Structure 1
């Protein structure tokens, strides 16, 4: 870590102060372990050594020692290093008081037993600080810790590690676990310029021609101190021209492998990869499928890994649950990073991103093993490329013959398209295809799916965000191995009847994009007949339109007349005729046959509600359910069906329009005790009585609820013992001038509070002792005045106040003033 010797001077003052605060915490005089963890290259060693040498700690502890754990682990060498350092400190103290008579001990010749005795003697009376740098396994820690627990005067141990799990194992009190993050951009830029130019300069003034390339290089470094210092030191010896800097930025992967001056970065990051268990390595090498800076959903990854066979059902845990544990292991080892948007989600991490340099490691290793191949601009090959996973970037402009000359389709197990889709991307030769992920692909239309029945091994199919998909072919029923079908954000009104043949289906995620007024037929029908008579003209107009358009003649390169007919008949006309809402889809009879389903939504129960609810009631494996179209006719039956779903963990209920959910969910129902997430969209007037009994509820979201008594609702919610995330969105409460009061002793587990109340919001008040664990307070679409915020200084756990969408300088100043006396010094962030 010599490369980081200078980085502690830049951008780590806050971190240094916070860790010293943990070390000097007067709340306990007893033995305590402080763990500092984060990915390789963050400068954990540099930070902790700087803390170790600080004036604040040198006066607090009589003896100190700092040891890096060697590989392979050797307890005898570890103890010998500790004894030598502690004895040197003792000798220095004796020298200061004139005690020169002691002789130097021959520690190098001591046995393990003698070293332990000597260590006990040295740690016998004074307060001591021990730093153990780079603990890499819990097994190591289990060998080390008993030695120190017997030495009562060893007051503090600081541990550094790359893994969250090890940090938690060492410091069992969450308070003493500190996660080190990448540098802020400004600090990263300052560190970079200091290394390159050997001092502080203003690059915009002195080297304006290098500014753009500097940004690109810093982006590649992703604010990782090790990379910044190493690359900055290398550039300090190179010509300072845009051409040289651009060459480095564009060929960073090759430079990491071949340039000895940058080899430190690869060596340190490779240690993290080499330390992965075999089963998790496969998951890590899967990540280069996704483009640089792409945010990948946790569920998407977990379901794909499961479909690929990377996880198996084990000891009562499903394959997806095992895959999910792999996801969290990669997060805890900092091999993938939680995306900023997901840090405060119910699960802790809802999505992730790949650090650019770690991605380079992943690309290099996956190419060595012929795992991932990305077809992108400038890509060419003299022979067919063999790969298991094919990713196609939208900027690739080749034709079909070029595609077939590059890709060996017989080996492809997964196909992922980012951007523009072309029909020849999928071929009958891909007989072993397990994953077809076309999320957010453009240009995909209905007839492109006509051959999907041939992929009999397909387990994962995602058309999420493909807005031009209005219909799935009946041949979908042939895919009997399918486990995941994700058609959220498409234009489908109903699912095909053959879907009930998919007996292995575990996750069925469906929802529609709202009707676009520009393509809606409603205005056309009104013009023809008047709104009151459109039901008379609709069938006739539909038949005439079909006769004109159903012949499958091409209209353009992608769409034929049959596609156009489907748009009108299966989408626009159906939506209008059946008066469907803008979110859910219709499902066929017989859904109860899909016994493996654990995720289902969003289902419209407004049409044929009783039959649908009877089917849902039989899906006893459901963990997640979303329904829409709720009304007074089906509301009570919905509640009865939910009661029978004993494993349900997440529930979303929606009803549009003025009646909404009013009177639909009344009653003293005992909903499943496992329910952790509840979302209610629609007019409630008052909070359902059964909400107060949801003792395991972690997340609650309300929107358009129009609750008339906010004080009563807040009091009920404040008593929920496990509520951690509360989102109060538009029109959650009725009327204007809503004042929310969080009383003393309420919301004891709340971590995130979002207030997106619009014009109805007037003020929020936190009494002393309310919401003691609140970390994030988020305001959206509210007017903040000097008297809007009260008690923010009493929120002892508050870390961040987020202001989203159009807050002016006066409102920001009001927030800062309200936080001025908060001892935590929360950050105010504009997004």
Structure 2
């Protein structure tokens, strides 16, 4: 059955008619039911009583044999019913005239050998900043000047960026924030969903604003406390808090993707007028939103489509890997035809270019012509949403079979939702969407899937809000889906009955057919039932969540923080559940955990942000659990050690359960245990080590984890461990309180072939000078974070030829005497982020240095400077 589904998925979509689609649905449901039958049998076997032992064998043996017999008969009946359905579905295939000859394989699905030969440039990441800003730099500069103009006018001004979907409104607003960061003391950017309701969604929006504006302390408990207080405030308290935080502060706030006048008016009254020349930027597709809200045409910017020259630049760079690259003569005419049909929309251009990136030789002209013919001509004269959807659908149709399921799975998440990378990948794995590959873990394979979807511009990378302490764990580890892409994925998912959505614009109705994956967004039908009586209450009782059969559900995700008590009380019905994601669901209580611990097929459990206080001891019965995320200060029982398949456990501020205690051992014994443990962790990818006394025990490790990618060391250590140099896969390294010699530190790190990010934290270096020498080339280093709070070093220097690929530099100025020398030697540097007090002379000197450096650089290689005061 899966082979037939794959055949249809990989067929030329022009050959797939409505009869094939109908038969595909029947086969898919049959495959689901076959898997459910096997899982249900396993659950029944698990509940079967153990064989009786003496002295009760004579009394209990007949009952045991009877239960076994009934179990086998039930299985036989289920299999017989499945075989009968299989025969019926097979006969329909013959009746419909469906066979392999009628479904030729799509020419876009290159054989494995061809895919393997695709160059790295052909599959460039879609978040390359040079790609994102093609054709909009002039618009950024123009709008930035308009925003900065009339600084003497202390009143609050609102600017609107208006344009259709896919034109780059959000990209323009983000780049404006980056350019203007030094001009504003506070900044924030929040997105507004299409279904935004000022009464129900305002609290969430205000909380997101405040969390971005507040400069939370980095000392754990205070951060947790501040977050908790924000989450517990109502709208009026949040509004007062925002006014308090922005009092006497010049702020820049971006409200992204506003869909209606009422939505904007509800938000506008919550943003304070503080007479500090503050600015608000609103992006919208709706012209009337700007017209109804703006008093001057100068405050409205209509974003322009790319002209033909910029369209070609963007297209050529995406297909051929270089802004200065050229298109083969045999493809130029077809390229011009494609670009005219794209109508200057960057999203459309990048989507089609990503599709053609594997076919960039002159011999691929037939493929290019096929794409050109597949694109409607309506985009050429007037870019429309329908034309944009057509291009996104085309990109989806040409995906490999395994990536189509991963893309449809993203319809689980709401519009503009930032998805943590690990959360997504472990969910894919738990759902069985990731196939095994020789020599790779499932997580590695899932990461390959994600990178390919990013390279095809189907998924966009994003950054979670990070603190200095979580830089290594979180930086860049997130993604999101463009709202137009999400719209298409929701449509595809609902057609395939892949994910069932409830709430917001999807209404509160149960979808047709069985529910396999249930995602509950805000404003669900339970809430409406409580607010509306009579006929509507009876209607929702028949058609809403309460009426759903939940026994076949494999995945449950809830994005509503309050309510849904009735649904949570039914958790015991989700017998076949594999994924349970209840992040920030405040309605979850300790009493519900007894149901959760009976979901024996569970592979993924996420409970961060909930109000549970303890995990029951029965958690150890979930033998298939692979990923467990729990909120802070949750009691964890000793039985958690029984979860032998667990690959990922995140429990912030873990309260050690009885039976798990910190043992005060002599240093020699502790060292022996640590070295022995590390030698056994062959598949370990991330390691965080902390000691208030010493980390010298690390010097005795003989067999380090060979696949380690992320390493954090926090604590004193006499010298840099030799074994770290053997970690060929190390990508991120962080050290704090180590008090190492500067040369020893950089000499050891500069040779790592895969090291992309380094963080040197507080008191990591004991020398007066930290010098990146000519010999310190760092072949892969992109990010250097120097949070060198403390007395040393006084001088940070970069010699010529050092850190040749460094792109982002973070510098902290707590010391008034600290100097930075040789920034002009960092030829690949694109961005510098400075933090410290505004009146710190060392920070001001660094700002002046960067200004002078930019004056000596061509416009195309200017350094972006971001300053965070406080």
TM range (shorter): 0.5 to 0.7
Q: Where does residue 433 of structure 1 map in the other structure? A: 577
Counterpart contact for 1:676–1:698, Cα < 8 Å? yes
**Partner residue of 2:710 out of 650, 653, 677:** 677
Q: Where does residue 647 of structure 1 map in the other structure? A: 683
Q: Where does residue 469 of structure 1 map in the other structure? A: 612
Counterpart contact for 1:511–1:585, Cα < 8 Å? no
Q: Number of residue pairs matched?
A: 544
**Cα deviation digits, residues 416-437 of structure 1 (max 9, x gap):** 1224154323323322322101
Change (3 A) 1:807 1:219: farther
Q: Where does residue 242 of structure 1 map in the other structure? A: 292
Change (3 A) 1:328 1:744: same
Q: State the structure with bigger RCO (CA 8 A, min sep 6), 1 or 2.
A: 2
Change (3 A) 1:681 1:586: farther
Change (3 A) 1:812 1:456: same
Greater Cα shift, 269-278 or 341-350? 341-350
**Secondary structure in structure 1 of the residue aligned to 2:597:** helix
Distance 2:290 2:849 in 1: 47
Q: Where does residue 460 of structure 1 map in the other structure? A: 604
Counterpart contact for 2:108–2:398, Cα < 8 Å? no
Q: Find out whether 1:760 has 2:760 as its counterpart.
A: no
Residues 469-508 of structure 1 aligned to structure 2 (within 5 Å): 469-487=612-630, 489-497=631-639, 499-503=640-644, 505-508=645-648
Q: Where does residue 778 of structure 2 map in the other structure? A: 748
Q: Where does residue 415 of structure 1 map in the other structure? A: 556
Distance 2:123 2:384 in 1: 37
**Cα deviation digits, residues 95-137 of structure 1 (max 9, x gap):** xxxxxxxxxxxxxxxxxxxxxxxxxxxxxxxxxxxxxxxxx96
Counterpart contact for 1:469–1:490, Cα < 8 Å? no
Change (3 A) 1:178 1:753: closer
Q: Where does residue 713 of structure 1 map in the other structure? A: 745
Q: Where does residue 181 of structure 1 map in the other structure? A: 132
Q: Where does residue 551 of structure 1 map in the other structure? A: none
After TM superposition, give the deviation of residue 641 of structure 1 in Å. 2.1
Counterpart contact for 2:559–2:583, Cα < 8 Å? yes
Counterpart contact for 2:501–2:520, Cα < 8 Å? yes
**Cα deviation digits, residues 630-656 of structure 1 (max 9, x gap):** 96651332012212333333322122x
Q: Where does residue 419 of structure 2 map in the other structure? A: 296
Q: Find out whether 1:442 has 2:614 as its counterpart.
A: no
Q: Find out whether 1:392 has 2:392 as its counterpart.
A: no
**Partner residue of 1:789 out of 795, 820, 823:** 820
Q: Find out whether 1:268 has 2:408 as its counterpart.
A: no
Residues 607-618 of structure 1 aligned to structure 2 (within 5 Å): 607-608=662-663
**Cα deviation digits, residues 688-739 of structure 1 (max 9, x gap):** 454455455332111233x1533433333335454332111223245xx843
Distance 1:164 1:273 in 2: 21
Q: Where does residue 3 of structure 1 map in the other structure? A: none
Q: Where does residue 801 of structure 1 map in the other structure? A: 832
Q: Where does residue 697 of structure 1 map in the other structure? A: 730
**Cα deviation digits, residues 326-380 of structure 1 (max 9, x gap):** 1111111111111146999799952211122222222232233333344335764
Q: Where does residue 168 of structure 1 map in the other structure? A: 120
**Secondary structure in structure 1 of the residue aligned to 2:697:** coil
Change (3 A) 1:609 1:309: farther
Distance 2:164 2:788 in 1: 41
After TM superposition, give the deviation of residue 271 of structure 1 in Å. 2.3
**Cα deviation digits, residues 138-177 of structure 1 (max 9, x gap):** 969x99xxxxxxxxxxxxxxxxxxx9996636599x9xx9
**Cα deviation digits, residues 286-327 of structure 1 (max 9, x gap):** 112222322212211111111111123243444333322211
Q: Where does residue 325 of structure 1 map in the other structure? A: 448
Change (3 A) 1:219 1:585: farther
**Secondary structure in structure 2 of the residue aligned to 1:475:** helix
Distance 2:428 2:751 in 1: 39
More helix by share: 2
**Partner residue of 1:732 out of 764, 774, 784:** 764
Change (3 A) 1:463 1:212: same
Counterpart contact for 2:162–2:286, Cα < 8 Å? no
After TM superposition, give the deviation of residue 385 of structure 1 in Å. 6.0
Q: Where does residue 509 of structure 1 map in the other structure? A: 649
**Secondary structure in structure 2 of the residue aligned to 1:415:** strand
Distance 1:334 1:164 in 2: 19
Q: Where does residue 74 of structure 2 map in the other structure? A: none
After TM superposition, give the deviation of residue 808 of structure 1 in Å. 6.1
**Secondary structure in structure 2 of the residue aligned to 1:450:** helix
Distance 1:806 1:776 in 2: 21
Distance 1:215 1:263 in 2: 18
**Secondary structure in structure 2 of the residue aligned to 1:741:** strand
Change (3 A) 1:715 1:587: farther
Counterpart contact for 1:342–1:351, Cα < 8 Å? no
Q: Where does residue 849 of structure 2 map in the other structure? A: 818
**Secondary structure in structure 1 of the residue aligned to 2:810:** strand
Counterpart contact for 2:633–2:655, Cα < 8 Å? no
**Secondary structure in structure 2 of the residue aligned to 1:324:** helix
Counterpart contact for 2:613–2:633, Cα < 8 Å? yes
After TM superposition, give the deviation of residue 685 of structure 1 in Å. 4.9
Q: Find out whether 1:366 has 2:493 as its counterpart.
A: yes
Q: Which runs of 5+ in 1 are unaligned?
A: 1-70, 73-135, 144-162, 194-198, 247-255, 514-582, 589-603, 611-629
Change (3 A) 1:275 1:738: farther
Q: Where does residue 311 of structure 2 map in the other structure? A: none
Distance 1:678 1:686 in 2: 16
Distance 1:756 1:284 in 2: 38
Q: Which runs of 5+ in 2 are unaligned?
A: 1-12, 15-106, 173-255, 260-281, 295-299, 301-375, 531-536
Counterpart contact for 1:469–1:491, Cα < 8 Å? no
After TM superposition, give the deviation of residue 260 of structure 1 in Å. 8.3
Q: Where does residue 777 of structure 1 map in the other structure? A: 809
Q: Where does residue 638 of structure 1 map in the other structure? A: 674
Q: TM-score, normalised by structure 2?
A: 0.53
Larger Rg belongs to: 1
**Partner residue of 1:406 out of 541, 544, 559:** 544
Counterpart contact for 2:463–2:475, Cα < 8 Å? no
After TM superposition, give the deviation of residue 810 of structure 1 in Å. 6.4
Distance 1:501 1:484 in 2: 14
**Secondary structure in structure 1 of the residue aligned to 2:651:** strand
Distance 2:682 2:457 in 1: 35
